[in-house]
Structure 1
């Protein structure tokens, strides 16, 4: 990864190839610095080659403003990518964005040092800009006599660009042509609109539809000290010396369905850049737009809707079961009501049953001796069970001794040491990979200053701006959600409630910490991608040292991890057993407490046997009293029947409500998912697939890996 300084920018034109895995990540990348790939070295010959238009298309003027060059370089991180054909499209446009001419640079790699390279192109006025190799052409097919060399050539085209950039100018609220704006003073607004002209056919919800190819655009301009009170929509500006450098971002090409899907993910997708300021004697050197498609997006397999589909199926099934279950509850309540009535009718039989109970109690009294012996046996067994369970509980809750842990760890470590030694032996894949990686990346590791760069970013004004914007966005989300509650709770109007919720969220420490962590994470990711000035020398020694260090570390880590895992596994097993025997069940007891309670209960039962005999005699007397109280119990049963009837009525009402909930809420929600929401997600997936497939503007062979980027420069505006 390389950061361009001012001088390098003038010598090297870099391009961006967006690496976001989804639209939300692409937008985040625009805010934090777009990730890109590959470089194309500028040669004077490249840009002066051709005809008498050289003075108009001289690309050395693309970045002739130092401040703009520096700022765009700082906002675009570059990484390398291996391709067969590397294309840079230079577009020279009028101040309003209308295209004047297009110059395309192509670089054909020659890794195999082949004598000939075959290419496909629809460019005209083709000229070799880096060497003296010649070519033959048959239609769009050209064959270069490469002689083992890489080929860099240049051509022109008048075909339509995949993305149009329109610049509109306003003075004091009225649209004005750029020519008439030159030298004027007042409130000026400059708006850049981006339109994707590229579409592909993709299958969405089982049918073919035309899907626009999304692109990422980064535009920059330098504003002099005659620009005051500058405001930027979808971008930012920095003050450097007497100049104000503006950088704006947009993602053209996403249709309404995709934007709706992004909105569902709380992601705002910019489609234009707007700059406003108070200006004296207006002039503008130029605007420069870096434009890439999504060919570098790490997007494979699309958006997996399986979990959402399963969730809606489960929700539908649960709704049906809830409605059915409430119906069963209603039926059961009706049966209880009916049973309570029957109970009232049967209470008259209780009196005759009481006499039978007396006879039974007398028979029980004669058998109480056998009962006493049986309870004694049960009591002895329960005491033994409780003692065994308590012994087990003590054992599993006792930590292993250091000697036991050391023995377990030593045995596990000895088993992995030999495996690590064999894996790192010279000539193995592991040895070769680490050795070669150390040699190839030695210079990178020597100059890695990620932490310092990250801290510099975090300490910058940009961090504060991003943090405040992110905190404000989260506060607005919170306020939008909670304002209605405050209105109802405190009888407030919506704006007052919204402001109170919004200001309260801004002061929320947890929200602040979350936003700070998110923004710092983004800046740290930027810093992680930033490296410079790799040192040379000592590669072989470093390679071997790294292998030895890795082997030593791997042996130590594997041994330690194996030992720790073995000890942890034993402790975990004991803890699992302890948690299982100590876990409280639905009856309120665990195995341990239940065994103790059982022992205590059987002991109490055994001690209560003598009293039981006396109790049986009392039961006989009580049976006589039971008959006299049966009449009163009958009256209570009648009251119970009335209450059960009311429960049945309530259960019926509950069943009707749940059926309504299932039909009018759950099923409608599932229907909405299977309609608009699912369609939007599939459109988002189709757009991302379309973005990955656009990799050439001037043409290339089907079996060639290519990448393309666009640099669009508008003409300056100045008073004559």
Structure 2
């Protein structure tokens, strides 16, 4: 008897934590408890609905009820019907009444029993040994069509269901439960299962699948069905639970901002990739151009050296046709440089030539013969004026010799300047190639036809100066080429890094930010709206029975499946059997009298 009492007290203590909740104080409250006695398979044998009505000490309470056989159980007050209303005369007392109904309970249970994985009638399992499985399937009969996210959805009133039973430690072992906990009090194991039928169908969250059933499994040496107690309430959700969504609008806004910024970052990095490709291609062109310029400059240097060697060993023409064609060919095939490079190279070559002693010596001779031409011209005019033919002829001869010398030195200066400038930049462009070809041929012919033998040394000296300038240019181009190669390698590494950055940002956007945004704006927002709608269903449900407008209600359901003992040991505890034969209501009250 003591063990029996302890077992029942443990069960009802657990259930009371769920269903015996404090009811807030309102002007008019209706606290409902539904008691149902079930067959072993979960079918309702009989039920009774108990109502507790309070209106802060008023003498008359107005109520509505669909119940039959209404009985005032506390003896305080009587009622009369006024159409569909009940008028209670309470003398300032609360009203407690109960009645019956043929309406379907908001929660149904289907119970299935298995022995060694074979489904059986529970009565055929009594006293047997083996692996037991008890499957309780809960069905939510309270639903409503609600508009969620622009669609009509069937949502269920959010009931929370707790099922409790005990198993003796003597005959049972390896006890397991889905969706629940097992508590050992030293004598029995108290098995508590939790379910919320319809929750998955309402929220569409995969992790909530299976919350409409509880499965208990264990091994037994002597199967007996313990009493199964189930309590349910629609108070799974209330307004306070919605506080979690108080800042979701800020979350949605921030997520959208983050998503937009991430897209901008992807687009920006993509532009950076495209820019690096252009930079990379430009760097390659610079490297190739400088390489060509180096080869061309080096070739010019060699050809000028050949020309110097040729002039040094030949008292005839300075340049023969083969050398001339070679220089022209080199000039034509030389690389194309930018305008700025052409200008810099040409200016450097001119400055080098003009600052050389040879050029200054020739310039001095040119200036001397220019003065001689001017003086001879004056004398010639005077001779013509005098009419002295002999003097005219002599002065004219001197004037022509001075002009020839002046032209020769002028040609030499032109040769030095044009050779230095045009040869250095002859590879700049097609225009430069054409000019280089014309100038090189004209200068070569002038040198070959007009430069006297005594001027060969000056020409060679000028070419040596030009060669020094070309060699300096070649060395500078080589340094620039080597630097451009290092720059190109750096640009390649930069380009690869930018591409890696783009790939990472793009992956971060697609696999990270985009999924988070879709989750928040899709699943989270959808779940939030469904939870808000379900919370309203919970608030609207309140009681199974009718109630008058303005009444604040609450409802709890208690369902019991009676135990089935092994008849062979049943007579050993007659007192317990007699206690179990009491009515459900008497048993509940009796638990709190012991």
Q: TM-score, normalised by structure 2?
A: 0.56
Deviates more, 1:151-160 or 1:674-683: 674-683
Q: Work out which of the residue numbers 101, 105, 111 in structure 2 matches 1:167.
A: 111
Distance in 1 (alpha carbons) for counterparts of 2:499 and 2:184:
69
Distance in 2 (alpha carbons) for counterparts of 1:191 and 1:260:
23
**Conservation of the 8 A alpha-carbon contact between 1:91 and 1:103:** yes
The answer as to 2:59 corresponding to 1:115 is yes
**Conservation of the 8 A alpha-carbon contact between 1:286 and 1:714:** yes
Aligned to 1:191: 135
Q: Work out which of the residue numbers 156, 172, 189 in structure 2 matches 1:227.
A: 172
Secondary structure at 1:299 match in 2 = helix
Aligned to 1:150: 94
**Conservation of the 8 A alpha-carbon contact between 1:348 and 1:634:** no
Pairwise CA distance, 1:627: 7.9
Aligned to 1:58: none
Q: Decide whether aligned partners of structure 1 residues 718 and 639 sit closer, same or farther in structure 2, where only a CA change above 3 A counts.
A: closer
Aligned to 2:8: 68
Aligned to 2:218: 277
Q: Work out which of the residue numbers 206, 217, 228 in structure 2 matches 1:287.
A: 228
Secondary structure at 2:45 match in 1 = strand
The answer as to 2:193 corresponding to 1:248 is yes
Aligned to 1:703: 550
The answer as to 2:42 corresponding to 1:97 is yes
Distance in 1 (alpha carbons) for counterparts of 2:505 and 2:101:
66
**Conservation of the 8 A alpha-carbon contact between 1:337 and 1:648:** no
- Higher alpha-carbon Rg: 2
Pairwise CA distance, 1:696: 0.5
**Conservation of the 8 A alpha-carbon contact between 1:68 and 1:220:** no
Pairwise CA distance, 1:655: 9.2
Secondary structure at 1:310 match in 2 = helix
The answer as to 2:534 corresponding to 1:687 is yes
Question: What are the within-5 Å matches in structure 2 for residues 586-665 of structure 1?
Answer: 630-636=476-482, 639=485, 643=489, 646=492, 657=503, 661=507, 665=511
**Conservation of the 8 A alpha-carbon contact between 2:160 and 2:236:** no
Distance in 1 (alpha carbons) for counterparts of 2:521 and 2:232:
36
**Conservation of the 8 A alpha-carbon contact between 2:175 and 2:217:** yes
Aligned to 1:328: 271
Aligned to 1:556: none
Pairwise CA distance, 1:177: 1.2
**Conservation of the 8 A alpha-carbon contact between 1:170 and 1:189:** yes
Q: Decide whether aligned partners of structure 1 residues 136 and 655 sit closer, same or farther in structure 2, where only a CA change above 3 A counts.
A: same
RMSD of the TM alignment (CA)? Answer: 4.1
Pairwise CA distance, 1:249: 2.0
Distance in 2 (alpha carbons) for counterparts of 1:640 and 1:280:
86
**Conservation of the 8 A alpha-carbon contact between 1:326 and 1:654:** no
Secondary structure at 1:255 match in 2 = helix
Distance in 2 (alpha carbons) for counterparts of 1:229 and 1:170:
16
Distance in 1 (alpha carbons) for counterparts of 2:65 and 2:182:
39
Q: Decide whether aligned partners of structure 1 residues 336 and 668 sit closer, same or farther in structure 2, where only a CA change above 3 A counts.
A: closer
Secondary structure at 2:241 match in 1 = coil
Q: Work out which of the residue numbers 250, 261, 264 in structure 2 matches 1:318.
A: 261
Distance in 2 (alpha carbons) for counterparts of 1:331 and 1:240:
72
Q: Work out which of the residue numbers 306, 313, 329 in structure 1 matches 2:249.
A: 306
**Conservation of the 8 A alpha-carbon contact between 1:302 and 1:685:** no
Distance in 2 (alpha carbons) for counterparts of 1:357 and 1:130:
125
**Conservation of the 8 A alpha-carbon contact between 1:187 and 1:278:** yes
Pairwise CA distance, 1:337: 5.1
Pairwise CA distance, 1:108: 0.9
Distance in 2 (alpha carbons) for counterparts of 1:353 and 1:140:
114
**Conservation of the 8 A alpha-carbon contact between 1:106 and 1:153:** yes
Question: What are the within-5 Å matches in structure 2 for residues 454-533 of structure 1?
Answer: none
Q: TM-score, normalised by structure 1?
A: 0.47
Pairwise CA distance, 1:711: 0.9
Distance in 2 (alpha carbons) for counterparts of 1:650 and 1:271:
56
Q: Decide whether aligned partners of structure 1 residues 357 and 97 sit closer, same or farther in structure 2, where only a CA change above 3 A counts.
A: farther
Q: Decide whether aligned partners of structure 1 residues 287 and 671 sit closer, same or farther in structure 2, where only a CA change above 3 A counts.
A: closer
The answer as to 2:26 corresponding to 1:81 is no
Distance in 1 (alpha carbons) for counterparts of 2:281 and 2:185:
88
Secondary structure at 1:300 match in 2 = helix
Aligned to 1:23: none
**Conservation of the 8 A alpha-carbon contact between 1:239 and 1:245:** yes
Aligned to 1:712: 559
Pairwise CA distance, 1:701: 1.9
Q: Decide whether aligned partners of structure 1 residues 337 and 247 sit closer, same or farther in structure 2, where only a CA change above 3 A counts.
A: closer
Aligned positions, number = 391
Q: Decide whether aligned partners of structure 1 residues 334 and 110 sit closer, same or farther in structure 2, where only a CA change above 3 A counts.
A: closer
Secondary structure at 1:70 match in 2 = helix
Deviates more, 1:222-231 or 1:183-192: 222-231
Gaps in structure 1 of 5+ consecutive residues: 1-5, 8-62, 359-624
Pairwise CA distance, 1:145: 1.3
Q: Decide whether aligned partners of structure 1 residues 705 and 335 sit closer, same or farther in structure 2, where only a CA change above 3 A counts.
A: same
Distance in 2 (alpha carbons) for counterparts of 1:133 and 1:173:
56
Secondary structure at 2:42 match in 1 = coil
Pairwise CA distance, 1:260: 1.9
Pairwise CA distance, 1:647: 6.7
Q: Deviations over 1:392-415 (max 9, x none)?
A: xxxxxxxxxxxxxxxxxxxxxxxx
Aligned to 2:439: none
Aligned to 2:156: 212
**Conservation of the 8 A alpha-carbon contact between 2:259 and 2:514:** no
Pairwise CA distance, 1:713: 0.9
Distance in 1 (alpha carbons) for counterparts of 2:351 and 2:272:
36
**Conservation of the 8 A alpha-carbon contact between 1:316 and 1:666:** no
Aligned to 2:579: none
Q: Decide whether aligned partners of structure 1 residues 339 and 698 sit closer, same or farther in structure 2, where only a CA change above 3 A counts.
A: same
Distance in 1 (alpha carbons) for counterparts of 2:256 and 2:349:
60
